[in-house]
Amino acid sequence: MLYRKWGTEKDPVLWYTSSYQDDTEILEQVKLVMKAHVVELFLSGYISREACRILIQGINAFKEIGKNYEDIHEALEDHLLKFAGDFGGMVGFGRSRNDHVATALRLKMREELISLLEELLQLRGTLIRRAQDETTTLFPSFTHFQPAQPTSFGHYLLYVEEELAQRWEMIFSALRLVNRSPLGSGAVVGTSVALNREREANILGFEGVITNTISATSSRADLISASMEVGVLMLVLSRVAEDLILLSSKLTNIIQLPDEHVSTSSLMPQKRNAVTMEILRAKTSEVLGALMTLSSIYKSLPSGYNLDLQEMNPEYWAILSEARKAVYILHDLLSKLRVRDPKLDVETLSTDEAESRVKGDVSYRTAYFEVAKSLREGSFRPSLTFEDSLARKAVKGSPNPSKMRESIMEVKNRLETHERVLNEYKNLILKGIGELRSMEDDILQEGS
């Protein structure tokens, strides 16, 4: 213990309130934030180059969090006091655990969101490529999980891609909100130490600063918002998983899942259970539970830092971890599944048949009732085929093969735009971090 001088290492209050185990998730980010703080103290004239060099060496030497500390921040500062002597005593100057943990959390969330966005881009690319190959592969569509109208498997895949593209844009927007720096805000109202917050933000690759120091140190709204957007992504993935479970059942027998995504029964050897998709559904519920935990902890906290915020941290990483695994698993499955002969119900051509009869004095409702009567009597005989049904679709975004080709060109362009935007944003982040690394190298080399 460094800050709290009462009690002992066996004090139940310490082990009850300590976050040292959970803090291992942000160890590297905390070290990076401390480097930015030390470099800023040097650039602002508060410590010497020699002190800065030794402190950076000490930060690099910090490898693990001892269990007798309240958190990683206390452990790191105590390590620097022991490593650097009097120089170590300066790292607390103009610094609070409140602004440092807020900054580290945003760095971690930034990394997690970028990784998720990259994996979504890969999945979407696979969906587009398969959609091109499956433009004319007949496939059922459903409403109320009753057969609706004929479509193509490529059309279904482009539906999934569009859902993911929209979620990608929302998560990227959340990333930009997250990528703002709280550093230099102290405990709640800033500090009398004249730190250059914009410079600190720049060398950590942030897009800017969170201006108000109360918000900077105690708000978690951006992290919650990002987590919720990831939660909506999981809702989308879970619906797709549900489709794949139902359509791969022998009751429908429309698709065949890859062998590695199914499991048999210990008693019934004929079973091909869609186990990976079942787990994805369950994990979505866990993510929703984590979102409820975040909301429930956060909703009643007074402004300013409260230790309750510490208990939210594991939930962020659980949500992001499950989302990334879900995207990976779904990507693997969708790249390998096979569409069987769907044996489409001829009655699903009834809408096309009614539309084809509209002419002159025959309104759609008249044609509709005529077709409905033939369906009831069992005499329905359509004048067109399933392929005709696709080809007759006249609206943008439909399964008409020519409309599909137009859609594929559009979604390809959108995907390329998203890839370019993300790469440009990553480069901006890397440029800032690169400046910090360059300064670190210069300072370390001078003392070698």
The pLDDT, as a whole number, for residue 101 is: 98
Q: What is the mean pLDDT of the chain?
A: 95
> What is the distance, to the nearest Å, from the Cα of residue 86 to the centroid of all Cα atoms in its chain?
43
pLDDT, tens digit, 9 for 90 and up, residues 96-131: 999 999 999 999 999 999 999 999 999 999 999 999
Please report which confidence band the pLDDT of residue 10 belongs to, taking 50, 70 and 90 as the band edges.
Answer: low
**Angle at alpha carbon of residue 216, lines to 422 and 120, rounded to 5°:** 20
Active site residues: 144, 265
d(CA 46, CA 390): 72
Residue whose tokens read 């900077």 = 216
Cα dihedral 87, 70, 182, 322, rounded to 10, equals: 130
Q: How far apart are the first and last CA of the chain?
A: 33
Residues 377-403, mean pLDDT to the nearest whole number:
96
Residues 6+ apart with CB under 8 A from 243: none
295-334 burial, b at 16+ Cβ within 10 Å, e below that, comes to eebbeeeeeebeeebbebbebbbbbbebbbebbebbbbbb
pTM: 0.95
pLDDT, tens digit, 9 for 90 and up, residues 216-237: 999 999 999 999 999 999 999 9
The pLDDT, as a whole number, for residue 236 is: 98
d(CA 203, CA 12): 40
pLDDT, tens digit, 9 for 90 and up, residues 48-73: 999 999 999 999 999 999 888 889 99
Q: Which long-range contacts (CB under 8 A, 24 or more apart) does 390-397 make?
A: 390/136, 390/138, 390/150, 390/151, 390/152, 392/352, 392/355, 392/356
Cα dihedral 418, 420, 422, 426, rounded to 10, equals: 180
pLDDT, tens digit, 9 for 90 and up, residues 142-188: 999 999 999 999 999 999 999 999 999 999 999 999 999 999 999 99
Q: Which two tokens stand for residue 15?
A: 């082990």
The domain spans of the chain are 12-93, 102-184+210-342+404-432, 346-392
Topology (CATH level 3) of domain 102-184+210-342+404-432: Fumarase C; Chain A, domain 2 (1.20.200)
The highest-level CATH class for domain 12-93 is mainly alpha
Neighbours of 240 (CB within 10 A): 20
Of 230, 262, 408, 251, residue with least CA distance to 333? 262
Q: Which two tokens stand for residue 331?
A: 């990507």
d(CA 26, CA 69): 15
pLDDT, tens digit, 9 for 90 and up, residues 265-322: 889 888 899 999 999 999 999 999 999 999 999 999 999 999 999 999 999 999 999 9
The pLDDT, as a whole number, for residue 265 is: 85
For residue 433, pLDDT over 70 is answered with yes
* In 258-311, alpha helices (H): 275-298
